Chain A
Amino acid sequence: MFNKFSRNVLLTPFLIWAGLFIFVPLIFIVWYGVTDNDGNFSTANLAMIFQRGFWDALVLSVELALVSTVICLLLAYPLCLILTERQRDNTTIISLLFILPLWMNSLLSTMAWQTILEGNGIINQLLRLVNLPTLQMINTPGAIVLGMVYNFLPYMVLPLFISLSKIDRSILEAAQDLGANAWQKFFRVILPLTLPGAVSGITMVFIPALTTFVISALLGGGKLLLIGNIIEQEFTFQYDWHLGCALSVILMIFIVLNMLLTMAFDPIKEEGDAA
């Protein structure tokens, strides 16, 4: 389109942006994570992750994030299959209605779940009305998982919906004509074709679920601490930045693993190649 010089001039703002605002800040975190208050190199803060409270929080975070990701995947596949099944007139409107809740402030809607689930909440009041025993739902791991699924389900639905709607109808018809039943059609045709979308959805759900501190604070009642809560407290209450950064470095290991997984299935690269 134009010569190399002007191309490089146009790339300069991006390179400054990426260098100064992506890489330098990450170096700051790692630097704080591997030094102590006197600025000497130390792995003591990194090793803190093996202490009981921290290790328990990390294990709980990984467990809840995994459970939420699996639930999102299991909910999103049937939903997207139904939405993409036929190009009905109202498909656009229905799909938009599933994205619309994203525009409601997520802090407020997570708090609304408090009102629904708590001891004197809407569900328990309904149970009392029909003389059933009330349930302890708020401040349980289940409530946190519910909050995660509620907040991050759209991130699973969107990539899946896109990759499902890209599948050529005739491929599905061919599978049917060749005698595949519904299960075979799903596992041998649809699943492999939508795998990149599913992987992208998995990373988009797993990382925010693993690192949240808001959902656990609202629905876990401050007793169930996730690793995100501990890191946030190190910065806002304890003011131990070195420890907070060291724990963030531990989180970054999970994030890097996730990035490698996404790159292995990169749907963006394919689009670029096709063009």
Chain B
Amino acid sequence: MKYLKQVYLATIFLFLYAPIGVLIAQSFNASRYRGHWTGVTLDWYTKLFEDDRIMNALSNTLTIGISSAAIATVLGLITCVAMKELSRKWRATFMSVTNVPILNADIVTGISLMLLFMGLGLRLGYASILLAHIVFNVPYVILCIMPQLMALDKSFYEAALDLGASPFKAFWSVVLPELRPSIFAGFLLAFTMSADDFIITHFTKGAGVDTLTTAIYAELKIGIHPEMYALSTLVFVFVLIFVLLFAINRRKLKHAEDVF
């Protein structure tokens, strides 16, 4: 039985990582065409940084990701604080509204935002992508922060007020530090969602502006430039190291807790 379980885990693991292995292999393939193996090269890794189109798309992805996640985090945090004060019934109603963009299909969200932007006379481009990403990021931030805020003990905040702190000061130095983990998680989730989004960006972008995902989509028909594989491999290795460091750190922390 134990053996069977390990085989099961390994099979799913293989299923999840097989395409990733293929992509990483392709980033070292000397041939421009996928499926033709003509030897190992590191050329794509150096050419990557000389490719203006890819570097542009990368910088759009990063700046849109960071700014949309930051704005969504502020907006989400303010909303959560206010929602905590609502009656249970109203809070449930607000949470259902928040869930609409998450449960809605990306294609419907993308088309509806495109129609809105054009209806408002906004030119489709960088700004419209940024706005769209803020829109779909807010719910993820709220979903991350709300549970922790609801579980927070109000009496610390009230004690700060009794001791003469202004509401803002009390919030800033008592409530906010407690919420730091969920705020960080919300920001990170929002950034990930933004960086990985293709469908909504596809409909709300204008000609000439690309993020990494839309640049990849444009290349699908003509053949992906191997530089893209190199970039994805770098991103993947970067995230892998980050995740492993995080896991090891947590284990050490847990271990320390067990000892004391």
Contact of A252 with B108 in the complex, beta carbons under 8 Å: yes
Q: Which of A104, A150, A228 has the most CB of B within 10 A?
A: A104
A67 within 8 A of B: no
Are A113 and B19 CB-contacts (below 8 A) given A75-B12, A258-B103, A262-B103?
yes
* CB-CB nearest in chain A for B236: A104
B85→A2 contact, CB < 8 A: yes
Contact A109 B78 (CB under 8 A): no
- A111 touching B81, Cβ below 8 Å: no
Given the known interface contacts A109-B20, A259-B99, A273-B88, the answer about A82 and B232 at a Cβ–Cβ threshold of 8 Å is no
Nearest Cβ on chain A to B194's Cβ, whole angstroms: 13
Q: Is B55 an interface residue (CB 8 A)?
A: no
Beta-carbon contacts of A120-137 to B below 8 Å, as 1s and 0s? 111000000000000000
Q: How far is the CA of A203 from the CA of B151 in the complex (A)?
A: 27
In Å, the complex CA distance between A104 and B93 comes to 35
Please give, as numbers and ranges, the residues of chain B lying within 8 Å of A1 by CB-CB distance: 81, 84-85, 154, 157, 167
Chain B min CB distance to A196 (Å): 14
- Is residue B250 within 8 Å, beta carbon to beta carbon, of the partner chain? yes
Mostly, the B contact residues are: helix
Q: How far is the CA of A269 from the CA of B246 in the complex (A)?
A: 31
Cβ-defined contact, A92 with B235, below 8 A: no
Minimal Cβ-Cβ distance residue in A for B79: A14
A26 touches B112 (CB 8 A): yes
A25 and B9 CA atoms in complex are apart in Å by: 43
Of A28, A113, A255, chain B has the most CB atoms within 10 Å of the CB of: A28
A208 and B105 form a contact (CB under 8 A): yes
B135 cross-chain contacts in A, Cβ below 8 A:
17, 21-22
Residues of A within 8 A of B192 (CB): 102-103
Contacts of A98 in B (CB 8 A): 12-13, 16
* Chain A: number of interface residues, binned into ranges: 35 or more
Interface residue B34 (Cβ < 8 Å from any Cβ of A): yes
Q: Least Cβ distance of B18 to chain A in Å?
A: 6
CB interface residues, A 8-37, toward B, < 8 Å = 8, 10-11, 13-14, 17-18, 20-22, 24-26, 28-29, 32
Are the C-beta atoms of B23 and A272 separated by less than 8 Å?
Answer: no
Q: Of A245, A269, A275, which is within 8 A of B92 by CB?
A: A269
Q: Which residues of B contact A (CB under 8 A)?
A: 5, 8-9, 12-13, 15-20, 22-23, 26, 34-35, 75, 78-79, 81-86, 88, 91-92, 94-101, 103-109, 111-116, 119, 131, 135, 138, 143, 146-147, 150-151, 154, 157, 167, 192, 196, 198-199, 203, 212-213, 216-217, 220, 224, 228-229, 232, 235-236, 239-240, 243-244, 246-247, 250-251
A-B residue pairs, 4 tightest by C-beta:
A25-B112, A112-B19, A275-B150, A10-B82
Given contacts A17-B138, A104-B19, A211-B106, 10 further A-B contacts (CB under 8 A): A14-B78, A103-B239, A108-B216, A109-B20, A112-B26, A207-B104, A259-B103, A269-B92, A273-B88, A275-B147
